[in-house]
Structure 1
Amino acid sequence: MPPSASTLAPTGKLRAALIASNPVLVTRRPDGTLGGVSVAVAQALAAHLAVPVELRPYDNPTQYNESLATDDWDIGLAARDPSRAEHLAFSITFMEVGNGYVARAGATPTSADDVDRAGVKIAVAKGSAPHNVLQRLIKNAEIVPVPGGFEPARDALATGKADVYGENLHLAHRIADALPGARVLPGQFNVVQMAVGVRKRASAALPTVDAFVNKMRSDGTVQKAIDEAGLRGVRVPQPS
Structure 2
Amino acid sequence: MTLTDLVKAFAPNGRLRASINTGNPILAAPTPDGSAKGVSVDLAQGFAQRLGVPLELVVFDTAAKSVDAVTQEQADIGFFAIDPRRGEGIHFTPPYVLIEGCYAVRNASPVTAMDQVDREGTRLVVGQGSAYDLLLSREIRRATLLRAPSSPAVVDYFIEHGADVAAGVKQQLEADAKRIGGLRLLPGHFMVIRQAMGCPRSRGEEAARFLAQYVEEMKASGFVTEALARHGIEGAAVAPAGNP
TM exceeding 0.5: yes
Length, aligned pairs only: 239
What is the distance in 1 between the residues matched to 2:29 and 2:230?
A: 10
In structure 2, relative to structure 1, the CA distance for the partners of 1:32 and 1:201 (3 Å cut) is: closer
Could you list the runs of 5+ residues in structure 2 that have no partner in the other structure?
A: none
Alignment equivalent of 2:46, drawn from 44, 54, 63? 44
Runs of 4+ in 1 over 6 A off after TM superposition: none
Equivalent position of 1:147 in the other structure: 149
Kindly state the Cα deviation for residue 186 of structure 1 after the two structures are TM-superposed. Answer: 0.6
Superposition RMSD in Å:
1.8
Matched, 1:195 2:196: yes
What is the distance in 1 between the residues matched to 2:122 and 2:232?
A: 31
Contact (CA 8 Å) 1:217, 1:236: kept in 2 or not?
Answer: yes
Paired AA for residue 181 in structure 1: G
In structure 2, relative to structure 1, the CA distance for the partners of 1:107 and 1:160 (3 Å cut) is: farther
Kindly state the Cα deviation for residue 104 of structure 1 after the two structures are TM-superposed. Answer: 2.5
Matched, 1:35 2:1: no
What is the distance in 2 between the residues matched to 1:14 and 1:137?
A: 36
What is the distance in 2 between the residues matched to 1:128 and 1:164?
A: 16
Equivalent position of 2:170 in the other structure: 169
What is the distance in 2 between the residues matched to 1:67 and 1:213?
A: 21
Q: Give deviations 1:36-80, integer Å, cap 9, x for gaps.
A: 111111111111111111111122233234434522111111111
Contact (CA 8 Å) 2:15, 2:53: kept in 1 or not?
Answer: yes
What is the distance in 2 between the residues matched to 1:47 and 1:156?
A: 40
Q: Give deviations 1:146-203, integer Å, cap 9, x for gaps.
A: 11142x2231232243222111111111111112111111111111111111111212
Q: What's the TM-score once normalised by structure 2's chain length?
A: 0.90
Equivalent position of 2:23 in the other structure: 21
What is the distance in 2 between the residues matched to 1:31 and 1:63?
A: 20
Equivalent position of 1:77 in the other structure: 79
Contact (CA 8 Å) 1:95, 1:195: kept in 2 or not?
Answer: yes
Could you list the runs of 5+ residues in structure 1 that have no partner in the other structure?
A: none
Kindly state the Cα deviation for residue 32 of structure 1 after the two structures are TM-superposed. Answer: 5.5
Contact (CA 8 Å) 1:97, 1:233: kept in 2 or not?
Answer: yes
Equivalent position of 1:185 in the other structure: 186
